[in-house]
């Protein structure tokens, strides 16, 4: 709780800092929206040539895209600046955070909090909304309930990836790009149906780095499609558990990283 409070205080300061440059804020927010918008335009262009991608129609792919974009967008908004930890380690400014009476994870997560990242969430929500109007889903209570659960759990999984990536920066201070490969790379991967990828990759994304739980599994369940690995349908419901497990592991990695920093100072 102390962490949430500190997070709020620091994020608030960053919002005020950004508002010192209003024009720049407006432009970067629009830029973030536009960049992700063209991201989806690329998918639409692809569908002007083909009827289906790996057996999935445009509204279905848009559904995947929306789930992934909103989950990732929320995680990116909340703790997306954690990849700046490496810079703080290099220039020694992490020490200034360590002498404040607040948890370090919260302080680092709120570092450079950027409201412009709402651009991505907005775009993702629009795509998700459009997909829902075009899809003919047989809405049972379970399917309806899985929607918000999947979005929140997906956000949790991406948050865990961000935290684990930051923890790795304690060891390798210029590893921000590695982290980006899993976060930005991960969300791009999830925009396409699992059926277009090789079995090995799908297996890895399901069992090793469980990004598949962000949208592939929940979407397969909601749309009533078979999952390429022949997993039973109820597996989609383990999404919150998977997310909790990821967060726990990331938390442990963070603690180990911080402990190593405090014993080596570099």
Q: Which residues bind other proteins (CB under 8 A)?
A: 2, 6, 9-10, 13, 16-17, 20-21, 91-93, 95-96, 98-103, 259, 262-266
Q: Which is nearer to other proteins, 17 or 180 (CB)?
A: 17
Q: What share of the chain is helix, strand, coil (3-state, %, to 5)?
A: 80, 0, 20
Taking each helix axis from N to C end, the angle separating 141-171 and 176-190, rounded to the nearest 10 degrees, works out to 160
Q: What minimum distance in Å lies between the beta carbon of 210 and other proteins?
A: 33
Q: Which is nearer to other proteins, 100 or 199 (CB)?
A: 100
Q: Which is nearer to other proteins, 25 or 197 (CB)?
A: 25
Q: What minimum distance in Å lies between the beta carbon of 97 and other proteins?
A: 9
Q: What minimum distance in Å lies between the beta carbon of 23 and other proteins?
A: 14
CA nearest neighbour of 35 among 124, 151, 111: 124
Q: Which is nearer to other proteins, 105 or 236 (CB)?
A: 105
Q: What minimum distance in Å lies between the beta carbon of 13 and other proteins?
A: 6
User: Which alpha helices (DSSP H) does the chain contain, by range?
Assistant: 2-19, 22-47, 58-79, 85-91, 94-98, 104-110, 118-134, 141-171, 176-190, 199-203, 216-223, 239-264
Give the pair of three-digit tokens for residue 137: 């889903």
């Amino acid at each position: 709780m102390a962490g949430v409070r500190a997070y709020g205080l620091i994020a608030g300061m960053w919002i005020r800092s950004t508002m010192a440059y209003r024009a720049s804020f407006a432009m970067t927010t629009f830029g973030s929206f536009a960049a992700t918008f063209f991201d989806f335009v690329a998918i639409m262009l692809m569908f002007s040539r083909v009827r289906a991608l790996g057996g999935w129609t445009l509204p279905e792919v848009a559904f995947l895209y929306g789930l992934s974009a909103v989950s990732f967008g929320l995680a990116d908004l909340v703790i997306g600046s954690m990849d700046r930890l490496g810079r703080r380690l290099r220039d020694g400014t992490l020490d200034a955070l360590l002498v404040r009476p607040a948890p370090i994870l919260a302080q680092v997560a709120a570092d450079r909090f950027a409201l412009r990242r709402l651009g991505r969430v907005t775009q993702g929500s629009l795509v998700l909304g459009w997909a829902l109007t075009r899809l003919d889903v047989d809405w049972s209570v379970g399917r309806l309930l899985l929607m918000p659960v999947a979005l929140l759990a997906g956000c949790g999984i991406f948050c865990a990836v961000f935290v684990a990536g930051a923890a790795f920066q304690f060891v390798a201070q210029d590893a921000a790009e590695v982290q980006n490969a899993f976060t930005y790379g991960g969300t791009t991967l999830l925009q396409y149906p699992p059926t277009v990828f090789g079995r090995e990759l799908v297996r890895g994304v399901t069992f090793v780095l469980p990004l598949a739980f962000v949208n592939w599994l929940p979407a397969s369940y909601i749309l009533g499609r078979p999952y390429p690995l022949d997993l039973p349908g109820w597996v989609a419901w383990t999404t919150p558990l998977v997310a909790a497990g990821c967060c726990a592991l990331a938390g442990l990695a963070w603690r180990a990283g911080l402990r190593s920093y405090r014993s080596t100072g570099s």
